[in-house]
Every structure is written in C-alpha cells, then in structure tokens.
Structure 1
Amino acid sequence: MVMTQSEFSERFPAESDLVEFKQGVPPEKVAEAVTAFSNTDGGVVLLGVDNGGRAVGITTDGEQQAKTHRAVAQVHNPGRYELHELLVGERGVLVLAVNRRREGFAQMRDGRILVRRGAMNTALIGDELMRFVTARSLTRYESTPTKAALTMADPELLERLRSTYGWSADGIEDRLVETGFVERTSDGPMLTVAGVLYLLPRPADILGKAYVEIFRYRDETEVYDRRFDIDGPVNDQVERTTQALMDDLGSDVVVIGLHRHELPRIPEPVLREAVANAVAHRTYENARQPVRVELRPDRVVITSPGGLPEPITLENIRQQNAARNIDVIKALRRFRLAEDAGLGVDVMQDTMEAALLEPPEFDADGAHVGVVLRLGSTVTPQERAWIAEVERRGEIKAHDKLLLLHAARGELLTNTSVRELLGVDSTHARAALQRLRNLGYLQQSGERGGASYTLAKELGPPAGLQLAGDELEALVLTLASKGRVTNEQVRGRTGLERNQVLGLLSRLVESGRLEKHGERRGTYYTLADGRLGV
C-alpha cells in the first residue's frame, strides 16, 4: 500500500487508544504495545514513525519482519496479529496490526498485564487487576471434568501413561491431577476431557466424535471407495492413522546402479506431525465432527474442527505457536508423537523441502483448520533418487539440491539465475555456487561477473538427464528431420518427464527451430522450414 505523507498524517494524526508510533523496533516497547492492544480493543503499531507522527522510514525486509515477530513472541498469549508493509512517500513503514484477544488475556514475560488508555500502555494493579483477571479468566475445555470417574480408566492405559511420564507407582492420583488428567470433585476424582482422551479405550463414548475419519477417493468427485474410522486413545489415533496413510500412499521405488531407493510419497514425519496437530489442537467442544482425512489422487487433506488458536494466523503460523489443548499436546510429546513447542510447522515444511516435495498448504476459517499435502512435485522420483545418491558423497544443504537439479537438467547456472531460483542476494548466490564447485559437484567457466557453472561430468546425472541442454535440443531436431515428433516420442528417447519435454519443445518453437501443429493429444512438431516431417 502507498500513501503520501499528508495522507498518512491525516489517517494517523497522533498516538491514541488504537495507534502507537515507534521509530525502530525496540523489542520491549513493541511487546508492551502488543500486550496492551491485545487486552483492550486492538490497535496498530507503526514502525518507522517518529513521536511526532512523521514517517522516517525503516527497512521492511525479511530480517526486520523476523525481528518484529520475535518481539511479539516475548508476549504471553497475545491477540492475533498481522504484519504489513506501507510506503509513505519513499519511506518504508511496517504496520503491526493487533486484534483484541477474545479468550483469556495477554501478559508480559515479567508478569505485567497491560491495557491501553489513551496513548499509554498501563499496568493493572490491586483490585483493578483482580477484576480484570476474574472477568477474562478462561478454563480450558480439556480441563473440564467429565462424567467418567477415575475408576473407569483402563488399567493398561493408565500403566502406559505412568511409564511414559516416569511416575512411581505411588501417588498416581496426585500425578494425574497435577498433569490435568483428573480433577477432584464432590463426586470423587473424575477424568477430565484430556484424561478421557488418554485413559479410556473409546473416548468417543464420552466425548462424541473424538476420532479420525478417513475417506479415500479415486477421482475428484465426492464418491469415495473406502471409508474407515480410527478411534482409541489419541496417541493410538496418531500412530495408527499415520501408519494407515503410509500403507495406502506407498513409496516410489527407483533403482540407480546397485542401490534401490524407496522414496515415500509423503515423508512419515510430515504425516505424523500433521495428524498430531489435528487431534491435539482441535476443539473437543464440537462433539459432532471428527478429524477428517481425505486421500485424493494428487493430495492428502487433513481437516480438524476449530479455528486457529490465538495468536496464530496463516501468515505467522511458522513464527508463532499456541496450543488449544496444552495437556493433550504435552502428553503426545511425552509419547514422542509430536514435535517440541513451535517446531511442528517448521519440521513439516523443512522435511518436505528436503525431500524435494511441494510445501504444506495451510487453510483456516473460524470453524476448521486444514493442511494439504501434495503428492508428487516438479521433481521426478528418478531425480529425487539421484539426489539421494549425491548425498551419499557428503552432506549438502536443502537449496544445494535445487541447484544441482537445474544443473543436471542441462541448465547453465550463473549468479543471476541462482538469485532468482533461491531468492537470495548476490553474495549468498556466489557462496552457494563456489561451495558446490569446491565440493566437485559443479565446474566453473569464466571469471568474476562472467562466471557460469555446469554439472561436473564426474557426478553423473540420472538416466535421461545425461545430455546437456544443447545436446537434448540437437537430439529432438534430429528426430524432427526424420518425421513428425511428439511429446511421447521424446520421452521415450530421453527418459524425461512430460513437463520437461514440453519445456524443451517450447524452447525450440520459441527459437524458431520447430513448428507446433494441432492441440492437446493431437499435438506434434516439425522442423520450422516445413520441408520435412509433414
């Protein structure tokens, strides 16, 4: 968004109940403003604006935004927030928009509870603090006692929980109370919602649809060919659902030389974390909806009831973390079925990137949270297996894999092309190229600004990619000199995938060396002079 200084001054004339100016990004002051806005009616912190309301400018790059996210992370339970870039004249401003927290309250790390009064962030004390906390205190639903008495707990499940937590055999009831699985009531010790989820063989008997429902579809219609439920304690749900998905999805098997590579279509840690997040962070107050898993021909979709817990948004889902059911997720971590706090999304994204697969796609509304895991990618199984072979020679970084793949496809790598591929600056691009050169994976031609890099011949790209780009083009032109050429014919001769052949043919058409005829399945190509192959 772009504004003039006069438009900015008219819109934000001074600090107020809803507006605060900050010339830089002082972490403590930003955290105070976020806490106060979260506990009152929300507001915006304008970063890069002096006390008089004049935009003096601030860098708005990724590092500055990460610094702002870290400042917000100092707040315990902030409201949802968004970070936007604003250009005032020629000066950059970061807009930190904070929503009012609807459940509970925000708090500074040192324990202060702040509210916004005019242009001040004011700490509550005494009776005022007591009234505020009493009005805002929220009992988590997972801590609610149910009608299931502790005596209903399955002995084997109770022993498994005791062993997982490392408790002694004495004082089990006290430990269950301390960890939120039991609450003592006038009717005796009763299992809480969290307790039911771990200590009853069928939690759904008490909590409604507290299970996972799996549907498999063979096409994009709503007609499924298989449907089944996975119930039991939530740790069993995570393990059995993950295994069921792994069994159904299977792996791509590729043999290169003497090595057989089994490449899971989706890595197991990604599926396990996605399922764990769904069962741990769903709302159990909604007893009419289970966690739903859809197996589609090209994707896996996992949807859980309940929106994102505050302060999580789709935009900050990697930077922030919060748990709707704290006791439930803590136990899953004890069972080693979920990542540590704040690492789940990171693990999913990083693992998919390392496997050269598409990143997870998150979606959310007020009633549901979903994640889509794509099957397949622009990288073929043969290429993934080849990269695995390269990794046997020594550790390489995630973005090294992308550069090696483009080099294996015959592309000439330069500082400019690497900057575009990786989204980095010139210094990082040069370092990546030189590191791969020094490892013996790339060979360099030219110097300084004219340097270019190709795959080292000793590395040996996968079958179908041994030819450099100009050699592949020459092969296609030779085929065209003998008659019509189709995508299928080129795939058969080169071992390339359909999209790779389409790119190759398109380049030859754009350069005027081939002519394209027909549409869709009837498409074929001839030499551009039209004398042959027609």
Structure 2
Amino acid sequence: MPMALSRYHPALTEEGLRTNPESHYFERKGRDTKPGKIANELIGMLNAGGGTLVYGIADDGVVEDLQEGSLLPDTPLDLDRYRKLVHEFIVPPANIELEEIYLPCGALIFLYHVEQDYERLFARSDNEAVYLRVAADNKGPLNREEVKKLEYNRNVRAYEDELREDFHSDDFDSATCESYRKSMRYTGSFEELALKRRLAERKGDQIVFKNAAILLFASDPSQYIANAYVRYVRYNGTELKPGSQFNVVKDESFEDNIPNLIKRLEAFVNASLRDYYYLNMENGRFERVPEYPKDAWLEGIVNALCHRSYNLQGNTIYIKHFDDRLEISNSGPLPAQVTIENIREQRYARNPQLARVLADMQYVRELNEGVPRIFNAMRESMLAQPAYKDEAGIVTLTLRNKVSDHKETIFSETLERVESRWENLHTSQRQIIQLLFERQEMAVAEFEELMPLSRQTIRLNLKHLIELGIVERLSEKKRDPNALYRFLNK
C-alpha cells in the first residue's frame, strides 16, 4: 500500500499528488509559481468547498524540489514568502494549514490544506479581488454581480454546515461510516475523521454533528431533515391524467443516507427501465439498447442528491417515469453562476461538504464531468439532447427515449431467424425487415410508397419472408389489398 504523506489528509500519497487529475478540490503548482498566484488559487478554494494545493509539483506531475531554488536564472526562491502568503495576501484570516513534506526521494514540497468556510467571503488584501474555484479552474477576479450571487449562495450552502445538537450518533448507519473511514484510509475512529473533515465540532466533551453528516451517514436522515428522501413515480402514458383517468401505476419512496440511496436507486431504476432493439443493417443483428443510457440517468440522480437545496424542506427529489421520458427534479434554483445556457460548462457545488465526501467515496466524479457526461451519453445512444429547466425554484432534467418507436415485442425466435438468414437475404428483403422494425405493421401499399419496387415484387419478397418464418400476414382473405404484415409473433 502506498505510504500516506499527510497528517491532515491520510489518503494523499506521492503517486496521487503526481498523477491524480486536478479537480474542484485539488491543484498542483510548479516551483516558479509566484506567491500571489498561489494566494489567488487558495482564495478560490476558500470561496468554494475547500481543498488541497500542492506547491512543488508541476502540472505534468514532475516533482520540483523546493530546496533547489528557482528554475529562473538570478531569481532566488524565498520560501518564507510562501510560508507567510496566507497572512499577507488573504482577508479575512483564513483557516489554511501548511504542511512541509519531504518525499521519500528527499524533495521538499508544500501542501496547503484549505478548510471550507460558509460564513465569510474571502478576497485579496491588496486589491480586494475575489476568486472562486469552479471545477478544476480558478475563476476571477469576479465582477460585482458575480460577487453578489456568491454571497447569496453562501447563505444557502450554510445549511449543510449547521450543527444538530438533537442528533445522536446511535442513529448513524455503521456500515456507511466504516465504508467512508476505509475509503479515506483513516486508522482512527469515524468520529475523529468527522471532526477532521469538518462534519462535526467538539463542544465541551461532546461531539456535535452537522446536517451534512446526517444526510451522508444517518440510517434515516428524514427523521431530522424533512423530505430528505427520493420519490419514484411511474405513469402509464406520456402525461399525468386526473380523476378517473389517473394513470400512476407505481409510486415508491426511498429513505436512506445519500450513499445508500445512490446504490438502491441504481438497482431499482435499472430494473424499471425497458430495452429496445436497434437493427444493425451491416450484419443483420438486433442489438439491445437500453431505454436510457445508465451514465445519463444515474448521473442525473446523483447530481440531484448532491446539489439539492436541503434547506427548502417542502420539496423532495422526484423521478417521474413516463413512456417517452424520464424527469429528475430537485429543489433549486440553480446556484451562483450556473444558468440553463451555461450548465454544460459552468460548475458550482451548492453543498460542497456533500460533494467532497461523495467524491472521496467515489460516488461523485469530478464536478466538471457530471453534466457533460449526461449530454455525451445521450448523444452516443442517438437520443435527444437532455433538457434542463429552472421554474418556480425547481430544477428538472428531462431525458427522452425512443422506446415509443418500438412498442411491439419481437419474439426471440424471430430475431434469431433474421440474424441466421441475413447473409442470404437480398437488399429488398433486408429493407422490408428494417421498415417493419421501425413501423411494426405495414400494408403492401405502404411498402410501395417507400421502396423503388413494383407491388408484385414486394408481394414476392413478403411471401419469401413468410416462408422463412420471419413475417406473418394479418388477414384471412386471400386477396386483401389492405392486409397488414408484421414480424411473426408466435
């Protein structure tokens, strides 16, 4: 097992510092980065969700020993400036711990451990410039309107940081707590780890946990935080119908801590979704395609759990499943600089404590990947682009499918006959199969409109497919011009 380097963050190893991708919570800076530039990065982390900055390892992962001086000629490296920069450049006073680490090779690096702070806005002491870490980048200096939005959202984010003296540690789910402790490679107790990760505070001889800890680790968070659950509703059709036409066929609620909710919803939704087939015209094989790509719907659920406004306790997270779409909604509105127009590029964690712990437990990937992954997954599955809307304080993600285009079930025996005889079918017969797959049932006249063949030739091809046990004719009359043809379903 790789050796841990940091007493503040036991999961950090030399290999991780060199090779882990930069993220919302992690930044590398080479030896010749100026103190003011590092201060800007630290301010961005303070105004976001905290994190770790390593000074002495370049962006490409090369260790640059701070004992060797500057890479630039005639430019001495004054390490004392880097030791003092937190006090010289940042206001108000910030909770940043500096560790001076000697790697096994003997090289010296600095680790700046930035703790999140919900109550204050941080800026440069010399010019009052404000920065904000967004995904793996430092945004700023922010303009006046952006600073105003940041101040507003910090008030909302403070909810997860509230202490709950009415909560007792007996109500924790021990398995989830232990899973987190192991993921952090922490040898002490869960309570000690919670204190280190600012999920709790010590008051006298008592440890008082925060709302974030309850949402992440309690057996039943909804006992303490109203509507901290997820509700799945399945509708028969494409719209909600009232009264006697009420069309809800399944309505289930899921109450658990967030890591367990992710696991349970992943299994439940996966079992609830349907598959459809895509006919590969090159090899004649029917390829199974899910109703929605898992990367899209699971990422949408995780995002809703991670970024919900839990202080707005009148709303819960909804997963509404219609025949033609999946809607995932949570209480909003969109945070800070994020809008419907820039949601694919702009990132901001409404609940940075939740996001950080879920990232530590590998339930959440980097903040700059989530929404783009949803868009990419839908595009790769040849489905409509995801749609977001922000209305009346509710943010909704809509994923649309193509299953409604393939309502009829095709018997597995028929699929096997198509695939086994595909090489011996000529182009016209293959085209008939493709049209039936897309439209389920067709008359000869409909084939004639779409194919450059005579009616007689179409009838001969259909007759051949009937003899092969692929197609059947739906009419008892021998001469029925309106007879329908479909795949054999028996």
Normalising to structure 1: TM-score of the pair? 0.48
1:475 matched residue in structure 2? 451
2:377 counterpart of 1:351: yes
Instruction: Report if aligned partners of 2:153, 2:350 keep a CA contact under 8 Å in 1.
Output: no
The structural deviation recorded for 1:303 is 0.8
What is the rounded CA distance, in whole Å, between the counterparts of 1:262 and 1:160 in structure 2? 35
What is the rounded CA distance, in whole Å, between the counterparts of 1:377 and 1:136 in structure 2? 40
Instruction: Report if aligned partners of 1:356, 1:379 keep a CA contact under 8 Å in 2.
Output: no
2:197 matched residue in structure 1? 179
Query: Structure 2 residue aligned with 1:274, among 293, 300, 313?
Result: 300
The structural deviation recorded for 1:319 is 1.3
1:55-454 superposed matches below 5 A: 105=121, 112-113=128-129, 138=155, 140-146=158-164, 147-170=166-189, 172-186=190-204, 188-219=206-237, 220=239, 221-222=241-242, 223=246, 224-253=248-277, 261-365=287-391, 367-376=393-402
Structure 1: which 5+ runs fail to align? 1-31, 40-102, 116-120, 124-132, 383-456, 484-491, 493-523, 525-534
Report % sequence identity. Answer: 20
What is the rounded CA distance, in whole Å, between the counterparts of 1:369 and 1:136 in structure 2? 16
The structural deviation recorded for 1:354 is 0.7
Instruction: Report if aligned partners of 1:149, 1:188 keep a CA contact under 8 Å in 2.
Output: no
Do the aligned partners of residues 259 and 232 (structure 1) sit closer, same or farther apart at CA in structure 2, a change above 3 Å counting? same
What do residues 158-194 of structure 1 show as CA deviations (whole Å, max 9, x unaligned)? Answer: 2122112221135x33321232322223572122111
What do residues 263-315 of structure 1 show as CA deviations (whole Å, max 9, x unaligned)? Answer: 11101111110000111100111222210111111111111012111110001
The structural deviation recorded for 1:482 is 10
Structure 2: which 5+ runs fail to align? 1-39, 48-118, 132-139, 143-149, 409-426, 437-446, 460-465, 467-481, 483-490
Do the aligned partners of residues 316 and 159 (structure 1) sit closer, same or farther apart at CA in structure 2, a change above 3 Å counting? same
The structural deviation recorded for 1:481 is 11
Q: Which letter does structure 1 place at the counterpart of 2:387?
A: E
Instruction: Report if aligned partners of 1:309, 1:324 keep a CA contact under 8 Å in 2.
Output: yes
The structural deviation recorded for 1:262 is 2.4
What do residues 27-71 of structure 1 show as CA deviations (whole Å, max 9, x unaligned)? Answer: xxxxx9xx9xxx9xxxxxxxxxxxxxxxxxxxxxxxxxxxxxxxx
SS in 2 for 1:464: helix
| RMSD (CA atoms) | 4.6
Higher relative contact order (CA 8 A, sep 6+): 2
What do residues 485-509 of structure 1 show as CA deviations (whole Å, max 9, x unaligned)? Answer: xxxxxxx9xxxxxxxxxxxxxxxxx
What do residues 352-397 of structure 1 show as CA deviations (whole Å, max 9, x unaligned)? Answer: 1011111111011351111001011899899xxxxxxxxxxxxxxx
Do the aligned partners of residues 174 and 300 (structure 1) sit closer, same or farther apart at CA in structure 2, a change above 3 Å counting? same
What is the rounded CA distance, in whole Å, between the counterparts of 1:310 and 1:286 in structure 2? 17
Instruction: Report if aligned partners of 2:176, 2:259 keep a CA contact under 8 Å in 1.
Output: no
What is the rounded CA distance, in whole Å, between the counterparts of 2:311 and 2:356 in structure 1? 19
The structural deviation recorded for 1:112 is 4.4
1:461-472 superposed matches below 5 A: 463-464=433-434
What do residues 456-514 of structure 1 show as CA deviations (whole Å, max 9, x unaligned)? Answer: x9xx9995379xxxx9868356239999xxxxxxxx9xxxxxxxxxxxxxxxxxxxxxx
Do the aligned partners of residues 112 and 255 (structure 1) sit closer, same or farther apart at CA in structure 2, a change above 3 Å counting? same
Q: Which letter does structure 1 place at the counterpart of 2:347?
A: N
Do the aligned partners of residues 306 and 480 (structure 1) sit closer, same or farther apart at CA in structure 2, a change above 3 Å counting? farther
Q: Which letter does structure 1 place at the counterpart of 2:263?
A: E
Q: Which letter does structure 2 place at the counterpart of 1:211?
A: Y
1:484-495 superposed matches below 5 A: none
What is the rounded CA distance, in whole Å, between the counterparts of 1:464 and 1:136 in structure 2? 53
Do the aligned partners of residues 177 and 252 (structure 1) sit closer, same or farther apart at CA in structure 2, a change above 3 Å counting? same
Do the aligned partners of residues 309 and 111 (structure 1) sit closer, same or farther apart at CA in structure 2, a change above 3 Å counting? farther
Q: Which letter does structure 1 place at the counterpart of 2:222?
A: A
The structural deviation recorded for 1:157 is 2.4
SS in 1 for 2:373: helix
Instruction: Report if aligned partners of 1:293, 1:300 keep a CA contact under 8 Å in 2.
Output: yes
What is the rounded CA distance, in whole Å, between the counterparts of 2:299 and 2:317 in structure 1? 14
Do the aligned partners of residues 306 and 482 (structure 1) sit closer, same or farther apart at CA in structure 2, a change above 3 Å counting? closer
The structural deviation recorded for 1:134 is 11
Q: Which letter does structure 2 place at the counterpart of 1:285?
A: N
When the two structures are aligned, how many residues end up with a matched partner? Answer: 296
Do the aligned partners of residues 168 and 234 (structure 1) sit closer, same or farther apart at CA in structure 2, a change above 3 Å counting? same
Instruction: Report if aligned partners of 1:272, 1:337 keep a CA contact under 8 Å in 2.
Output: no
What is the rounded CA distance, in whole Å, between the counterparts of 2:152 and 2:342 in structure 1? 28
Do the aligned partners of residues 258 and 376 (structure 1) sit closer, same or farther apart at CA in structure 2, a change above 3 Å counting? closer
Instruction: Report if aligned partners of 1:180, 1:194 keep a CA contact under 8 Å in 2.
Output: no
What is the rounded CA distance, in whole Å, between the counterparts of 1:174 and 1:474 in structure 2? 71
SS in 2 for 1:140: helix
What is the rounded CA distance, in whole Å, between the counterparts of 1:347 and 1:462 in structure 2? 36
Do the aligned partners of residues 482 and 277 (structure 1) sit closer, same or farther apart at CA in structure 2, a change above 3 Å counting? closer
Q: Which letter does structure 2 place at the counterpart of 1:179?
A: R
